Structure 1
Amino acid sequence: MSMLKCVICGMNVNEKNFNLNSYAFIDGNKKSYIRYCPFCGVNEIYLQEDGKVYSVDVNTLDSNTIKILDHAMKLEVFNGDFYVEASKLVKNENLKKEFLDLSRIEYMHANVHKRLGGFKELSELHKPDYTKYKKDEEFLEIAKKREEHAVAFYNKYSKVVYSEIVRKTLNALSEVEKEHIILIETK
């Protein structure tokens, strides 16, 4: 297996890490066929042997794009935080693992936005109390709504950003969130 570079998150994918976050994928990676970046979840078209990571000069971005990237970063931190908390509260062991893997992917999305927007650090957000939910099905419903919101966000704002790199990134991450919806619906 040759090493691949993810042009979205910048991580190197190799035989030691190709199977990370495997619970976050319906049909995960195999050593002989890498379908997804195990770090951010984008599909194989963004994995390249000599890939150059998508980047932009922050000074060329308009204030609206910076604001969109800031909101996208916060959205992904919020969703990552949810999955961490949900992984502690659900009863099904496989669902715990799935939510934990999803949290790592959502945090990687936040880091992608942080890098593109030139932000110094990830946002620290208020963490809601999810202990009022008692059934795994309730957490799955919340997860599905969050993923649908992320898809709608990416679809809406990919149409208004001027940067082709930011647009491609938003579209790539939208596809990841769509896969998460399918994953959640299979439970």
Structure 2
Amino acid sequence: METLKCIICGMNINDNNYKFNNSAFIDGNKNEYIRYCPFCGVNEVYLKENGETYNVELSLLNDNTIKILDHAMKLEVFNGDFYVEASKLVKDTALKKRFWDLSKIEYMHANIHKRLGSFKELPHLNKPDYTRYVTDKEFLKVAKQREEHAVAFYNKYSKQVSSTIVEKVLKALSKVEKEHIILVNTK
């Protein structure tokens, strides 16, 4: 397999890592067919043999775009934190793995926003107590709501940013979150 570069998150995909986070995909990567970036989850359209990672000069972003990237970063950290905690609390072993893999993808999304907005670090958010959810079904319901919120956020704000690069990234990540909705609906 030739090394591919994800132009959204900047990670290189090779024989050693193409199966990372495979339980976070509807139909995981195979050596002969790399369908997703194993790090951020975007589809093969964004995987290039000789690609340049999407980036933008901070000076070209207006205040509203920076604010949107900041909110997007916080949204993804919040969702990543949820999946980490949910992976510890659900009972089904496969669901534990799926939630763990989803957490890593959500944190990668947060890091993409951090890079685009030139933020110094990811935020540390207050973590709610998720022990109030008892069944795996309850966790799946909350996961679906979070993913639907992320899709709505990306769809709304991708139209309000001052950069076509940021717009493309938000739309690409929206597609990932749409697949997550399907994924947390299948158990």
1:59 & 1:74 partners in 2: Cα distance? 22
Runs of 4+ in 1 over 2 A off after TM superposition: none
CA distance in 1, matches of 2:169, 2:132: 35
> By how many angstroms is 1:92 displaced?
0.2
Matches within 5 A, 1:57-136: 57-136=57-136
Does the residue aligned with 1:173 lie in a helix, a strand or coil?
helix
Shift of 1:55: 0.1
Name the SS of the counterpart of 1:131 in structure 2.
Answer: helix
Per the alignment, residue 50 of structure 2 pairs with 50
Q: Deviations over 1:100-136 (max 9, x none)?
A: 0000000000000000000000010000000111100
| Counterparts of 1:16 and 1:5, CA distance in 2 | 14
Task: Work out the CA distance in 1 between the residues paired with 2:170 and 2:78.
Answer: 17
Distance in 1, matches of 2:185 and 2:82, equals 18
Letter in 1 for 2:117: G
CA distance in 1, matches of 2:133, 2:144: 15
Equivalent-residue separation in structure 1 for 2:69 and 2:114 (angstroms): 7
Amino acid at match of 1:87: S
Instruction: Give me the whole-angstrom Cα distance separating, in 1, the residues matched to 2:42 and 2:117.
Output: 19
Render the CA deviation track for 1:75-109: whole Å, top value 9, x for unaligned: 00000000000000000000000000000000000
Q: Which amino acid aligns with 1:99?
A: F
Indicate the residue corresponding to 1:165 in structure 2. Answer: 165
TM-score (norm 1): 0.99
**Post-superposition shift, 1:59?**
1.1
Q: Report the RMSD for the aligned CA atoms in angstroms.
A: 0.4
Q: Identity of paired residues, percent?
A: 72
After TM superposition, the score normalised by the length of structure 2 is 0.99
The answer for unaligned runs of 5 or more in structure 2 is none
